[in-house]
Amino acid sequence: MSGDGDSRDAVLRDFLTWLEQNDPDGGWYLDEDPVEMPAPVATPEPAIPEPAASAPTAPDPTPPERAAATVAAAPEPVASAAAEVPGGLAKPRRQLPPLDLDSAFKRRAEIFVAETVGKIARQSGAGGLAADPYLVEAGGDKAAALARLKAEVLPCTACSLSGGRKNTVFGAGDPDADIFFIGEAPGRDEDLQGEPFVGRSGQLLTKIIGAIGLGREDVYIGNILKCRPPENRDPTGVEVEACEPHLMRQLAIIQPRVICCLGRIAAQTLLGVDTSLKRLRDSVHFYAGVPVMATYHPAALLRNPDYKRDTWDDVRRLRVLHDALLEQD
């Protein structure tokens, strides 16, 4: 195929993508009118295991060291927490539909993946995401460990947001997910329903996840904050400090292969940086050895549809990276 024909194809594909994303009968388009809320995804809740008869030792809520601070000089084999936990590697995976990628995008994505795989190897000194004590106690049963954590987090009163909530929004999805999406905080709809991303942003997120061949039930969706800030204002430092340990423990139970931060606040908070989202989108980052990508928050796409194209690139790269990481197993 000639280079010229290839770039003409790429332009045409881009245009078709734009049409598709803005197609009222599908794609990434939402009516201006309020849309009927989808039923929250029912996550099967396994029975919460009885705590051991002896006083259970409180797990250390300290977040794992920021990966960047602990890069060791000599790479060692990745200490995979899943490997230490019985049953941790037994996930049956569903065959995902292949993505239809144009060759220009595919080339760029392959470079991104090769670079990222190299960076992951160099991250091994960070020690990986240590298995959460509940995961170890549950013998690697992520659903059981997550249900136990959820039962603890729902009545949390660690910050003042608990006083104004209707519901704590713990998070939802596959306890054994390979991709963990992190948003900022619940909004009005999420507070009312106790489920993450169920309002207009959430409906768009569902479409975006669908556009890369996945369903909400295939991934895990959580937030930096579990309770709604008044008027959806930005989280305060005090709130983040109080709430972030819950997210750290969700990550330490689920052990995702890749994290995708939705929006500036989620990305900056998780990574402990104040870099702009535009710059954070440019490369892969790490949280305790786990690759972290950042893209626009779906609410930003609702306000600014021109960001959809970049988001489309980001999530396709996310899917390509996800596929490459699973292929290594």
Binding site for ligand URA (CB under 6 A): 17-18, 21-22, 183-187, 190, 196-197, 199, 201-202, 223, 305-306, 308-309, 312
CB 213 within 8 A of CB 97: yes
Q: Which of 275, 19, 289, 245 is nearest to 130 (CA)?
A: 289
Helix and strand totals (H; E) in the chain: 12, 6
DSSP lists the bridge partners of residue 173 as 220
CB of 90 to ligand URA, least distance (A): 30
| DSSP H helical ranges for the chain | 3-21, 81-84, 103-122, 133-137, 142-153, 188-193, 200-211, 237-254, 264-271, 277-280, 298-303, 308-327
Q: For residue 183, give both structure tokens.
A: 């948003």
Give the nearest distance from C-beta 5 to ligand URA in angstroms.
Answer: 22
* In the complex, minimum distance from the CB of residue 22 to ligand URA, in angstroms, rounded to a whole number: 5
Q: What contacts 327, CB < 8 A, 6 or more positions away?
A: none
Please give the DSSP secondary-structure letter assigned to residue 233. P
Residues forming beta bridges with residue 95, ordered by sequence position: none
Rounded CA separation 224/88 (Å): 25
To the nearest whole angstrom, how small is the minimum distance from the Cβ of residue 324 to ligand URA? 24
Question: Toward ligand URA, which CB reaches closer, 18 or 112?
Answer: 18
Q: Which residues of 282-310 are buried (b: 16+ CB within 10 A; e: fewer)?
A: eebbbbbbbbbbbbbbbbbbbeeeebbee
Write out the two tokens for 106: 């595919």
CB of 10 to ligand URA, least distance (A): 13
Rg for the chain, CA atoms, rounded: 20
CB of 223 to ligand URA, least distance (A): 5
Pick 315 or 324: Cβ nearer ligand URA: 315
Give the nearer residue to ligand URA in terms of CB position, either 142 or 308.
Answer: 308
Q: Give 28 or 134: the residue with its C-beta nearer to ligand URA.
A: 28
Is the CB of 17 or the CB of 124 nearer to ligand URA? 17
Q: Which is nearer to ligand URA, 113 or 266 (CB)?
A: 266
Name the residue nearer to ligand URA (CB basis): 21 or 255.
Answer: 21
- Measured from the CB of residue 190, what is the shortest distance to ligand URA in angstroms? 4
